[in-house]
Chain A
């Protein structure tokens, strides 16, 4: 198996790994469904079987019908910036419970804005302008939601 894996092109290897992962997921769903009531396990077992069947079909298509599976898309643009964005979202969502909506969202707005690539050279003035716009926007949303629409946004818990 290892030898087969090493001798495969990268896109085929990814499809192979994907198919195997889906087969494992299907098996897990079927096994986990065994502890449910009779009526409650019908659909999960059907779904698990469907996932396994389709994953085997994907595997067969990959090896038996050349070029039937499209190659993996190449990532366009900056991957590190994407990772930074997701990281900032995770931090934002984590802090939401402690700092509340207003403070965490203003901070997140400013940091995400700073992470966006710019065509022109980085300078303080446009950054301050976007940060100020972020503060106004966040406060505006907060006011509309909490006062006009009566949506209770998360309150700070550490103060």
Chain B
């Protein structure tokens, strides 16, 4: 109830201006490939410090919200996830844009982001203390199983051939081994190169693997990048609402997944959208076209990654543990403003926290008109842009995106090499998306496995460590279901189809 009482304080003209400004800046920065939410928050941190604590935190919160959604714009229009959270948005968003449904895809992404974002904030307001305790139950074993669960999505990304999809996934896992090992300190597969000591960075790798092949194909013919539908100027908002209402369960499930994963420290939006996407494909109907332009894929990805924004604040605010890098920046901003986090935050600084939450809630709702309009104009620009301008423009954004996150020249080289590799093996039916997943999840799985092994050996109970913890068992059951259910359901549905065909005959 205290939360509701502070609502009046939140709607001052200044906070409204700050929220709109933060949202627009976040969307623009998030839409630029490579400029992640962490980057957006980090560059805006000095601006926020010059503001009043509440205004400054609302500003950063809205930048985070906007950049998380903004990542979907470039993911849909040029197959480049602006942020790692939007990797799964490319799987269906870009095919939809290629088919002339880019406007619809952007509207679906915006609506899903808003709903997911609101679910995350509601979870924060009503469930913060119990959820924070749940977050602490996640240990290395759970992270190991969670990463393996994320890898099961490869099965649904392997259009054409599952073995080739799995081989791509293993190639990604192999690439994740390059650099100093987090478990043993070995310099693995670095060939005495200083450029490889730090490993393969995820953002340049993602840009190279997913976007450079698109740029290489763009230059091959004189046709347009995206087909321009007759109603290109329309946002197709009504069609987007219809798409969401037809997939209500997917929307709710993905938002809840995003919320649950968001509160687990170190998991973050990329894992959340991956697990939500895996779940959506696991229960897909035979007529669904995941990976080929199904709105359900965008709904799963965007609602889950935006739900992590609000949910990620739970461990940050309640426990003082920033679950993700953007949350660490937010935590830093709070400390600079003299707001100490922890269990007493809600009593000592109730005015700041609740007004901040109202500001972020308002910004999330505001994201609907702002996000839809931004998406519409960017979509029209990309559809109409002549190729002699579009191709070098995309190439320029790839180079900037690969470089900007670490200011490292070698990251551009890595992006280029992986992009050419992805285009070459893509010709032979090896998809690039599982390689990205392998690079993303490899270190999480390895670190979880090694730490669980060490703890298990110390306790003289390795098996119990891996298979004796309740959350681990739930995750193992999910992995088994993710692998076994799709072929069983396929067989069941084809049998049913056969029986129906016989009945008609």
How long is the Cα–Cα vector from A159 to B181 in the complex, in angstroms?
40
Q: Name the distance in Å between A105's Cβ and chain B's nearest Cβ.
A: 6
**A141 near B186 (CB under 8 angstroms)?**
no
How long is the Cα–Cα vector from A96 to B427 in the complex, in angstroms?
30
Closest A residue, CB atoms, query B387: A116
Known: A77-B220, A116-B219. A40 touches B181 (CB 8 A): yes
Q: Name the distance in Å between A28's Cβ and chain B's nearest Cβ.
A: 10
Q: Which residue in A51, A97, A112 is a CB contact (below 8 Å) of B392?
A: A112
The answer to whether B8 has its CB under 8 Å from any CB of chain A is no
**B216 near A85 (CB under 8 angstroms)?**
yes
**A43 near B189 (CB under 8 angstroms)?**
no
The answer to whether B166 has its CB under 8 Å from any CB of chain A is yes
**A40 near B217 (CB under 8 angstroms)?**
no
Contacts of B160 in A (CB 8 A): 70
The answer to whether B222 has its CB under 8 Å from any CB of chain A is yes
How long is the Cα–Cα vector from A32 to B174 in the complex, in angstroms?
12
Q: Name the distance in Å between B456's Cβ and chain A's nearest Cβ.
A: 13
**B416 near A89 (CB under 8 angstroms)?**
yes
The answer to whether A20 has its CB under 8 Å from any CB of chain B is no
**A149 near B43 (CB under 8 angstroms)?**
yes
How long is the Cα–Cα vector from A31 to B416 in the complex, in angstroms?
28
**B404 near A92 (CB under 8 angstroms)?**
no
**A40 near B388 (CB under 8 angstroms)?**
no
How long is the Cα–Cα vector from A134 to B391 in the complex, in angstroms?
11
Interface of chain A residues 27 through 83 with chain B (CB within 8 A): 29, 32-33, 36-44, 47-48, 50-51, 54-55, 57-58, 61, 68-70, 72-73, 75-79, 81-82
Interface of chain B residues 166 through 212 with chain A (CB within 8 A): 166-167, 170-171, 173-174, 177, 181, 183-186, 188-189
Contacts of A85 in B (CB 8 A): 215-216, 219, 391, 395
The answer to whether A93 has its CB under 8 Å from any CB of chain B is yes
**B173 near A47 (CB under 8 angstroms)?**
yes
**A82 near B220 (CB under 8 angstroms)?**
yes
Closest B residue, CB atoms, query A85: B219
Closest A residue, CB atoms, query B391: A116
Q: Which residue in B164, B170, B184, B386 is a CB contact (below 8 Å) of A130?
A: B386
**A112 near B220 (CB under 8 angstroms)?**
no
How long is the Cα–Cα vector from A77 to B223 in the complex, in angstroms?
10
Interface of chain B residues 200 through 244 with chain A (CB within 8 A): 215-217, 219-222
Q: Which residue in A51, A116, A118, A137 is a CB contact (below 8 Å) of B174?
A: A51
**Looking at chain B's contact residues, is the secondary structure mostly helix, strand, loop, or mixed?**
helix
Known: A70-B160, A92-B399, A138-B396. A50 touches B391 (CB 8 A): no
How long is the Cα–Cα vector from A105 to B386 in the complex, in angstroms?
19
Known: A116-B219, A119-B222. A69 touches B161 (CB 8 A): yes
How long is the Cα–Cα vector from A156 to B167 in the complex, in angstroms?
42
Contacts of A154 in B (CB 8 A): 403, 409
Known: A40-B185, A40-B186, A85-B216. A70 touches B393 (CB 8 A): no
Closest B residue, CB atoms, query A142: B400
**A47 near B183 (CB under 8 angstroms)?**
no
Contacts of B420 in A (CB 8 A): 86
Known: A14-B428, A40-B184, A86-B216. A133 touches B389 (CB 8 A): yes
Size bracket of the B interface: 35 or more
Known: A93-B416, A117-B221, A152-B407. A40 touches B188 (CB 8 A): yes
Contacts of A70 in B (CB 8 A): 160-161, 429
Q: Name the distance in Å between A140's Cβ and chain B's nearest Cβ.
A: 10
Contacts of A81 in B (CB 8 A): 219-220
How long is the Cα–Cα vector from A153 to B127 in the complex, in angstroms?
44
The answer to whether A143 has its CB under 8 Å from any CB of chain B is no
The answer to whether B346 has its CB under 8 Å from any CB of chain A is no
The interface centre, meaning the residue of B423, B445, B446, B450 with most chain A CB atoms within 10 A of its CB, is B446
B107-145: CB near A (< 8 Å → 1, else 0) gives: 000000000000000000000000000000000000000
Known: A39-B183, A44-B177, A76-B221. A54 touches B166 (CB 8 A): yes
**A58 near B220 (CB under 8 angstroms)?**
no
**B416 near A90 (CB under 8 angstroms)?**
yes
The answer to whether A145 has its CB under 8 Å from any CB of chain B is yes
**A73 near B43 (CB under 8 angstroms)?**
no
Interface of chain A residues 79 through 112 with chain B (CB within 8 A): 79, 81-82, 84-86, 89-90, 92-93, 96-97, 105, 108-110, 112
Known: A58-B163, A112-B392. A37 touches B184 (CB 8 A): yes
Q: Name the distance in Å between A47's Cβ and chain B's nearest Cβ.
A: 5
List the interface of chain B (C-beta within 8 A of A).
Answer: 43, 160-161, 163-164, 166-167, 170-171, 173-174, 177, 181, 183-186, 188-189, 215-217, 219-222, 386-389, 391-393, 395-396, 399-400, 403-404, 407, 409, 412-413, 416, 420, 423, 426-429, 442, 445-446, 449-450, 453
27 contacts between A and B (CB under 8 A): A14-B428, A36-B184, A37-B184, A39-B183, A40-B186, A40-B188, A41-B184, A43-B177, A43-B183, A44-B188, A47-B173, A50-B166, A61-B163, A69-B429, A76-B220, A78-B219, A85-B215, A86-B216, A93-B399, A93-B412, A109-B392, A109-B393, A109-B396, A115-B219, A118-B387, A133-B389, A151-B43
Other CB < 8 Å A-B pairs besides A54-B166, A84-B219, A116-B392, 17 of them? A22-B167, A47-B177, A51-B167, A55-B167, A70-B161, A70-B429, A73-B427, A82-B220, A96-B409, A112-B395, A113-B391, A113-B392, A114-B388, A117-B222, A118-B387, A145-B404, A154-B403
List the interface of chain A (C-beta within 8 A of B).
Answer: 14-15, 18, 22, 25, 29, 32-33, 36-44, 47-48, 50-51, 54-55, 57-58, 61, 68-70, 72-73, 75-79, 81-82, 84-86, 89-90, 92-93, 96-97, 105, 108-110, 112-119, 126-127, 130, 133-134, 137-138, 141, 145, 149-154
